[in-house]
Chains A and B, each alone.
Chain A
């Protein structure tokens, strides 16, 4: 085998050795069994190559289905308030008693003065700060 380009004198021996080694490599006889086994595999690829676009579609559909399932699984979890949220909500809702309605006052007034005054006291405690002068100053 010839090598004419890039000849460096320092590498002449090495080039010669490589050329000798390359000459020792001979072509092998045609291996029909190997060839047909390989072509069989290639035909399988080629056969699968045609519906390759379809297979991409299938892959995308599968990915979408997985994403949908995950979203469905995640939805209830996300809609549930966290345990902290529940506590916070309880804190907000439970201690805050609603002031009595006009109808409640009317009913209490119809029943007795004590009931009406008790309701007024309760609402005053709810609506006014504990330091309000109303609680320290006696009524005129």
Chain B
């Protein structure tokens, strides 16, 4: 399955692959707003998000020859963004112990006491749970739901079989569901 970019983008990408920095700049101008939005959703503050987008663009330039059009350009860029984010988190990105989850839940309980909006709470809860997910699961969830990529596209972007994407997605959702149950138990015990 190919996700051929539009003619203009394809032409600019071809030029960029040959070393045309201006063509790459034009391609990235269209991708930056969405990348920045996703980066802000992942990072703690805007400065980190800017750094993340910058590193993503530089990494994309360096390995542009590897983009073969088997997925959308944004999906490919999003994988780079995720990997860069994971690198910036260091070993914390691999797993957050449940104790930390409990601390986060306690913090959320305090925030809830200050009558915060329910959708903000849900977003923060999801953010905490996503951080607690192993990186390989977090990656597919982010790509599927936040980059709106299809399973074949995720498989192409990550270079793994489609069955693996399916199974990772299933396990990720199962883990998230269990974490949510656990958090709800913690909340219930607090009240």
Contact = CB atoms under 8 A, between A and B. Distances in A.
Contacts of B151: 5-6
A99 to B, nearest CB: 79
Contacts of B33: 27-30
Interface string A14-52: 110111111011111111001101110111011001000
A70 interface: no
Nearest to A42: B61
Contacts of B57: 38-39, 42
B25 A39 contact: yes
B128 to A, nearest CB: 12
Contacts of B146: 18, 21-22, 25
Interface string B111-146: 000000001001100100000000000000100111
Contacts of A114: none
- Chain A binding surface, main DSSP class: helix
Interface stretch (B6-14, B35-43, B83-91, B93-101): B35-43
A1 B37 CA distance: 16
Contact of B177 (A5, A10, A30, A31): A10
A93 B32 CA distance: 83
Given A17-B126, A38-B57, A6 B166 contact: yes
Interface band, chain A: 35 or more
A107 to B, nearest CB: 88
Contact of A41 (B53, B58, B123, B177): B58
A9 to B, nearest CB: 11
Given A1-B145, A5-B151, A24-B123, A30 B58 contact: no
B58 A38 contact: yes
Contacts of B76: none
Given A21-B123, A42-B61, 14 more contacts: A1-B145, A5-B150, A8-B170, A11-B177, A13-B177, A22-B148, A24-B41, A24-B119, A35-B32, A38-B28, A38-B53, A42-B24, A45-B61, A45-B62
Interface of A: 1-3, 5-6, 8, 10-11, 13-15, 17-22, 24-31, 34-35, 37-39, 41-43, 45-46, 49
